Amino acid sequence: MTNNPAIDIVIVGGGIAGLWTLARLRRANYQVVLFEAEHLGCVQSGASQGIIHGGTKYALTGKITHSAQSIQEMPRRWKDCLDGLGEVDLRQAKKLSTHQYLWSNKSLASRMTGFFASKVMTSRMRHLHKKNYVAPFDKTDFNGELYQLDEPVLDVQSVIDTIREQYSDYIFQADVKKIIEPGSLSSHDSHSHEYYQIELFEQTLNKKRILFAKTLILTAGAGNENLLASIGFEQPKMQRRPLLMPMLKAKTAILPNMYAHCLGASALPKMTITAHQMPAAQTVWYLGGEIAEKGVERTIEEQVTCAKEELQNLMPWMNFSQCQWSALAIDRAEPKMMEGSRPVEPAVFRENQVITAWPVKLAMTPIMVDKIMDELDAAGVKKNAQPLLLDCSDLNSMQKAKTSLLPWEKVQNWL
């Protein structure tokens, strides 16, 4: 009889979804560890713009949508965490900005002014007088309208670091290669008939390990697909919605800090810009919104050309000639929807003792974990169980997961 470690709950995937789940469960006295194949936040979380919005940008057509209603409480919940009063302690995380801006041209502004002045929006949005305009909108050549939205933008890397530092004893770098259902193969291990068998590979040590888990929580984004297939589950199905997100960098004197959405004719902003600091007094502008969604059929070079033209059209008073450019291709992994449409809220599924989850949006992560907690209760998973049912000294020698670089830190060749 072997003595491979047997654990109550294993989380697979170390983005914001997995880390937030780990923090909530540890604080609730569940016995749980997390495995990440590469670096924490290395895919979707690291590619996020860090915007914690409450549904305002989903309401840009002039009406409150289901998406807006699903997410409207999220800024408050995140703020509580940032203040040390919430479900996860984020006091050490960095705010890039306490608010965002929305800007528009005159024709669109006239259509939207009534909506922004409505009771629905006045608590979060205010129209700015020209004397209060900030860079880069404080130039006389800017001929639009500017609104301030009191919802924060966070440094995602610092959020990941903050959670990692608090729970480092339970976060390991190891690739889950295969998951085998209880009782599905003959084994001499005493736990093989009641626990899921997990095959791990530690790349740094070129070493394979076996352990057992009573309950699995899959928060690996696109990686959930292969994990589910390895168990033999046909549901839930997953979809990918790709983005190609432009980025440009220059001296901070050229690219000021800004966190803003350019309003278009649809619910999706024409462009969402967030600013991030780099060494040598440089700033990166990271571009999301319509430009990132429509650019997926282009090459990086074509997307850069398009982004240059679009930015110059939106901000004709600015000079981008000294900027360097690149773009990040990223897939948003989500539960499969009819005709590939965008999910409006986090998705959590349970089959037997396997919970699969996608937060859909960074801001919605707390909602996702609420649903995971409900599923743990429904599955009868107990708190205050023994941390490891067998000797776990072998786990202590495993590599601890580190935080990933951000997208612009990985670019090797700027255009």
Q: Which residues contact 113 (CB under 8 A, 6 or more apart)?
A: 127, 145
Ranked by mean pLDDT, the top range of 101-105, 141-145, 275-279 is: 275-279
pLDDT > 50? residue 334: yes
pLDDT of residue 203: 83
What is the arrangement of strands in the sheet containing 145-149, beginning at the earlier edge strand?
125-127, 145-149, 100-104, 259-262, 271-278, 282-288, 238-251, 324-335
Q: Report CA torsion sign: 105, 149, 66, 63.
A: negative
pLDDT of residue 313: 93
Taking residues 215-222, report their average pLDDT: 97
pLDDT of residue 392: 53
Q: Percentage of the chain surpassing pLDDT 90? A: 74
Please provide the average confidence, as pLDDT, over all residues in the chain.
88
Q: Which residues contact 167 (CB under 8 A, 6 or more apart)?
A: 19, 22, 23, 26, 34
Specify the domain boundaries for CATH 3.50.50.60 within the chain.
6-45+159-239+341-409
The residue with greater pLDDT, 77 or 385, is: 77
Q: Which CATH architecture has domain 6-45+159-239+341-409?
A: 3-Layer(bba) Sandwich (3.50)
Q: Which CATH architecture has domain 53-153+240-331?
A: 2-Layer Sandwich (3.30)
What confidence tens digit (pLDDT) does each residue in 161-211 have? 999 999 999 999 999 999 999 876 655 555 666 899 999 999 888 889 999
Summary count for the chain: helices (H), strands (E): 12, 18
Q: Percentage of the chain surpassing pLDDT 70? A: 86
What confidence tens digit (pLDDT) does each residue in 32-85 have? 999 999 999 999 999 999 999 887 655 555 555 555 556 888 999 999 999 999
Structure tokens at 135: 């860079």
pLDDT bracket for residue 376 (50, 70, 90): very high
Specify the domain boundaries for CATH 3.30.9 within the chain.
53-153+240-331
Taking residues 289-293, report their average pLDDT: 95
In this prediction the pTM is 0.92
What confidence tens digit (pLDDT) does each residue in 344-364 have? 889 999 999 999 999 999 999
pLDDT bracket for residue 114 (50, 70, 90): very low
75 to 56, 70, 161: CA distances (angstroms): 11, 12, 20
The most distant pair of C-alpha atoms in the chain lies apart, rounded to whole Å, by 78
pLDDT > 50? residue 245: yes
